[in-house]
Amino acid sequence: MIKEYVRESLNELKTMYQAYNEAIIELARQNDKIVLLYADFPSDIAGEFFRKEYPSRIFDFGIAEANMITAAAGLAACGKIPFTHCHGIFAVGRAYNQIRQNVAFDMLNVKIVLCNSGMLWPFMGGSHQVIEDIAALRAIPNLMIMSPADAVETKRVVKAAVEHSGPVTLRLANPPTPIIYKDENYPFKVGKPTLLREGGDVTIFSTGMLVSESLLAANILSKEGIEAQVFDVHTIKPLDENTIIDAAKKTGAIVTVEDANIIGGLGGAVAEIVCENYPVPVKRVGVKDEFGQSGTVEELKQAYGLSAKHVAEAVKMAVKQKS
């Protein structure tokens, strides 16, 4: 691993949403244009602070996600920087038209926080586990999609979202996630994957809370003589084509890892670039086009093939197929 900024141990956990709340409070103190909108989602630390300090900058819409996105578009058109909050499945399922028509189409400066994104939400089951968010949203022009790997990176992407003039989607996982980065002083550039581990045999492109599983898989593989380079794809759109093509040329095999549907997800995006530019074996680790169910995070990882062991198995298959 890159020892300067990546932790050797991944035992410390913290939720992305807690880090998000800490970041948004700090940023709101610095920028009075930031406003918060919620749709039947707990506002936690940020909400308590805002109601006391900035009562005119927080809005609760109840179970009305589409209305919330439309209101956010109006606020952005008036010069505000609105952050919307709701369960990821309802942003994609109930407010997709508003995201497309009212926000992205007009390039409005709305930040859409997908709370409880991905498969690994341990309760509520398949009705609330959003597996299609990457596929659905990356097909919308003008919409940036950011997917942090841990709590530290969550703060970086929130700041980047505020600095970016235009619509941004932030994917935040629900459960406590291993902290990967030592602190916020690490190489971070919007649109460019961060190299976490060097290796010459295969490349792993991972996003979200499964980046930690990818690092664990790389350690397993190293003991078997396979050295994998691991990238944290914190920006799914725009996706840096040069990094992906260079990785294909360097290692000759690629594995993608995500907590969403591999159809149209990160795996699909990487495969498109590789197929068009420098074809090499690509294996996709993620949800294989099926709905979820209730269970612990570890149970879900095992049931849907999302653990470090499954990543390592996919790497071995990709390496075996190298010409």
| Catalytic residue set | 65
Contacts of 73 (CB under 8 A, 6+ apart): 98, 102, 103, 106, 108, 110
Beta pairing class for 282-287 and 254-261: parallel
Q: How far is CA 245 from CA 181, 204, 248, 253, in A?
A: 26, 13, 5, 11
Rounded to whole angstroms, the Cα distance separating 173 from 183 reads 19
Is the separation of the CB atoms in 250 and 162 below 8 Å?
no
The 3-state DSSP class for residue 61 equals coil
Beta strands in the chain (DSSP E): 13-14, 34-38, 58-60, 81-87, 111-115, 144-146, 168-172, 177-178, 194-197, 202-206, 228-232, 235-237, 254-261, 282-287
From the list 274, 231, 277, the residue with the least C-alpha distance to 253 is: 274
Report phi then psi at 61, rounded to 5.
Answer: -100, -5
Rounded to whole angstroms, the Cα distance separating 286 from 62 reads 32
Q: Check the CA dihedral 147-152-154-159 and report its sign.
A: negative
Is the separation of the CB atoms in 84 and 92 below 8 Å?
no
The 3-state DSSP class for residue 231 equals strand
Q: How far is CA 280 from CA 265, 269, 309, 312, in A?
A: 18, 14, 22, 18
Task: Retrieve residue 10's tokens.
Answer: 């991944």
